[in-house]
């Protein structure tokens, strides 16, 4: 188990717990939906309660089946989501529904979003992707650049002179090592524009819980590996990144550019 996976375990468990609660609620609600009107439906036609019950049972099992598949995918680490539309339903609708359920029972929003990101990463992990460096993009928030740096790196991160005052220095080193393009976005709109222009097949994104959650959903079906930034100075100001986490993700998913592969192993 990698260090990053170890950190993500408790976050994953929270989401699995919420998925189980959601599944139980669906079954309970389905029963109520069948039971309450069936008392009256029988007055319209004697067969109606049975038909209504059958439709509801099918619907409930489809939803609970989807939830169970998700839990099994997370527990076994295997890609059981062979149907792309099902994966889409999970990322677009089920995750937000689970987040709403968590909020309803008073679970901290950051924790829920961390859980979403950890599970998203697990779902990407189960696909065993290997993407060429040229089709990979490292996407960063502007706040990683130190506040008083006079160089404007949005638009062209290569303008950084690598003075070492912020993590852009180390991240650029990693990007060069793998032969990957790196971009800095000041917000969601610019991030979307960069993705449309560069047309990557995989994004390794660094950001806070909120931006990663919305970014992962916006970018779907594009796989996004989300890495949380560290904020010792408060939100959106001189943030940091654990470089080994980024390097670990790149090693797992990226086929380095040719020049990198040809280098003799040390």
Closest CA to 155 of 105, 109, 203, 190: 190
Question: Is residue 105 close enough to count as binding ligand SF4 by CB under 6 A?
Answer: no
Contact stretch for ligand SF4 (CB under 6 A) within 49-57, 99-107, 141-149, 198-206: 141-149
Question: Is residue 140 close enough to count as binding ligand SF4 by CB under 6 A?
Answer: no
Q: Which residues pair with 203 in a beta bridge?
A: 137, 224
- Cross-sheet strand order for the sheet of 224-228: 181-185, 136-141, 202-207, 224-228
* CB of residue 172 to ligand SF4, shortest distance in Å: 8
Of positions 138, 166, 203, 212, contacts ligand SF4 by CB under 6 A: 166
Question: Is residue 138 close enough to count as binding ligand SF4 by CB under 6 A?
Answer: no
3-state SS string for 144-163? HCCCCCCCCCCCCHHHCCCC
User: Residues 219, 224, 122, CA angle at the centre, nearest 5°?
Assistant: 130
Of positions 142, 169, 177, 198, contacts ligand SF4 by CB under 6 A: 169
Token pair of 157 as six digits:
């991160």
Task: Report residue 141 CA to chain centroid gap.
Answer: 16
Task: Report residue 140 CA to chain centroid gap.
Answer: 15
- Residue 121 and residue 108: Cα distance in Å, rounded? 20
Helix H or strand E encompassing 29: helix 3-44
What is the total count of residues that contact ligand SF4 (CB under 6 A)? 14
- Residue 236 and residue 16: Cα distance in Å, rounded? 30
Question: Is residue 154 close enough to count as binding ligand SF4 by CB under 6 A?
Answer: no
Contact stretch for ligand SF4 (CB under 6 A) within 15-23, 32-40, 149-157, 176-184: 149-157
Question: Is residue 182 close enough to count as binding ligand SF4 by CB under 6 A?
Answer: no
Of positions 83, 163, 258, 259, contacts ligand SF4 by CB under 6 A: 163
Question: What does DSSP assign to residue 82?
Answer: -
Contact stretch for ligand SF4 (CB under 6 A) within 42-50, 124-132, 147-155, 256-264: 147-155
Token pair of 241 as six digits:
């990144």
Question: Is residue 71 close enough to count as binding ligand SF4 by CB under 6 A?
Answer: no
Closest CA to 144 of 242, 241, 239: 239
Question: Is residue 145 close enough to count as binding ligand SF4 by CB under 6 A?
Answer: yes
Contact stretch for ligand SF4 (CB under 6 A) within 36-44, 89-97, 126-134, 154-162: 154-162
Question: Is residue 176 close enough to count as binding ligand SF4 by CB under 6 A?
Answer: no
Question: Is residue 243 close enough to count as binding ligand SF4 by CB under 6 A?
Answer: no
Q: Closest CB to ligand SF4 among 123 and 182?
A: 182
Q: Closest CB to ligand SF4 among 175 and 219?
A: 175
* CB of residue 166 to ligand SF4, shortest distance in Å: 4
- Residue 43 and residue 34: Cα distance in Å, rounded? 15
Binding site for ligand SF4 (CB under 6 A): 145-146, 149, 151, 153, 160-166, 168-169
């Amino acid at each position: 188990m990698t260090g990053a996976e170890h950190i993500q375990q408790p976050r994953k468990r929270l989401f699995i717990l919420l998925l189980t609660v959601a599944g139980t609620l669906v079954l309970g609600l389905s029963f109520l939906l069948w039971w309450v009107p069936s008392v009256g439906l029988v007055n319209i036609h004697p067969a109606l309660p049975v038909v209504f019950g059958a439709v509801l049972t099918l619907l409930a099992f489809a939803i609970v089946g989807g939830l169970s598949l998700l839990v099994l995918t997370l527990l076994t680490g295997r890609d059981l989501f062979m149907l792309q539309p099902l994966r889409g339903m999970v990322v677009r609708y089920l995750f937000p529904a689970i987040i709403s359920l968590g909020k309803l029972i008073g679970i901290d929003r950051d924790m829920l979003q961390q859980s979403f990101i950890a599970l998203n990463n697990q779902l990407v992990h189960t696909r065993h992707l290997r993407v060429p460096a040229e089709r990979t993009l490292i996407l960063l928030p502007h706040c990683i650049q130190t506040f008083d740096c006079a160089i404007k790196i949005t638009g062209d991160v290569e303008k950084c002179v690598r003075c070492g005052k912020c993590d852009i220095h180390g991240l650029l080193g990693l990007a060069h090592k793998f032969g990957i393009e790196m971009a800095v976005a000041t917000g969601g709109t610019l991030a979307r524009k960069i993705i449309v222009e560069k047309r990557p097949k995989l994004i390794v994104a660094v950001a806070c819980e909120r931006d990663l959650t919305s970014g992962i959903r916006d970018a779907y079906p594009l796989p996004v590996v989300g890495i949380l930034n560290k904020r010792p100075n408060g939100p959106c100001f001189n943030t940091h990144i654990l470089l080994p986490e980024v390097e670990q993700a790149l090693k797992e998913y990226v086929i380095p550019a040719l020049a990198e592969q040809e280098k003799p192993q040390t």
